[in-house]
Amino acid sequence: MYTEYIKKRVKDIEPWLIEVRREFHKYPELSLNEYNTKNRILNYLKEMNIEYTEFEKHNGVMAYIIKPENKITIGIRADMDALPINEENEITYKSKNKGVMHACGHDAHIAMLLGACKILNDMKDELYVNVKFLFQPAEETVGGAKFLVEDGCMKNPDVDYMFGLHVMPYLETGYIETKYNILNASADSLKIIIKGKKSHGAYPESGKDAIVVASNIILSLQSIVSRNISPLDSVVLTIGKIRGGEAQNIICEEVSMNGTLRTINKNTRKEMIKRIENIVLDICRAFDCEGEVLWERDGYPPVVNDNYLVDIVVKNTEKLFGKDRFILKEKPSLGGEDFSYYLEECKGAFYHIGCRHSKQDITQLHTSTFNIDEECLVVGTLMHILNVLHFNSN
């Protein structure tokens, strides 16, 4: 009965959810520049008369419903930054910021979380749990979840359980997917610098060719996964960018390479980092060159779901949409997700919601034609609310 009441309340605000989502879609902003996005969120929170906190060092916002007598605190997160992509969709709410687009669905995430704010704040007198609504910047780049953790959003009162979601275009609207234990891999960025010695191409003996060294390093790095890691483990090492050289007849003095390392096992991650560094330094020494490996940021830890909270996601999916609408993901994704920083502070669960109409072709995330079936806004808002209300007992 309570579930039916919430379903009706959310369905009633569906036109508002669509309007909110389209407003954010129309005015996307890149990571660390979400100034107008933040102000729009604040305007909605003021209209709802819900309390919130701003921060000096970033554009994140935390709205909250907190009562001193409540013993459990639930956190819900939505990311709010966009991508440097020029939108090609011909829609009335097409991005007005050229070269910037909500191509990952964060506009939908914001609308869903604002919807949860609206409903839960309206019923705050009936709440026996505290709720923190985290609007997070910079998910696409530097891992903005760290900012909110560092600013104490998980403390005072401590967040006991954390939930997050992401729209997923390979799933039809109304379907929900997650996985017990590890859902997402850790993700590290690396930069390799090789320093040799310049000389004329006609006199190669006078130089130390950094391009030859780089070639040997790239080939050797690929052998780590096939020869040093169990085939039952999951690892991806990609060198996606290489720069070096001045002219076709000059021995190259310096090469830089950029790549990513994705692992699902902490011990494997440590072993990979060690092997990468050893291969780079040893090959450089063999060619009488200098080498350096720079880990450009602390990689995202893996997303490890709490199984009890996954059970709650499963039950709420079945309660809202039917048993056939939950999909148990078979293997972890090797994509990084900074929701993992929250899970270092408390138990949590991250899950995917379908956003594709059954009659539409799949359009991938991070592409210029990505768009959602807006009926998923109701799905995400309902899941946020029921995940919170699962703990609502006095």
Among residues 271, 345, 374, 375, the one annotated as catalytic is 374
DSSP assigned state of 339: T
Place of tokens 């369905």: 11
374 noted as active-site residue = yes
Neighbours of 178 (CB within 10 A): 21
**Catalytic one among 300, 341, 342, 351?**
300
Q: From CA 289, how far away is CA 291, in angstroms rounded? A: 7
Amino acid at 387: N
- The widest CA-to-CA distance across the chain, in whole angstroms, is 84
Question: Could you tell me how many residues make up the chain?
Answer: 394
Residue 300 is among the residues annotated as catalytic for this protein: yes
Which residues touch 282 (CB under 8 Å, ≥6 apart)?
none
Alpha-carbon distance of 105 to 79, in angstroms, equals 9
Q: Using an 8 Å Cβ cutoff, are 61 and 39 in contact?
A: no
Cα separation, 116 vs 209, whole angstroms = 59
* Run of H or E residues at 53: strand 51-54
Positions marked catalytic: 300, 374
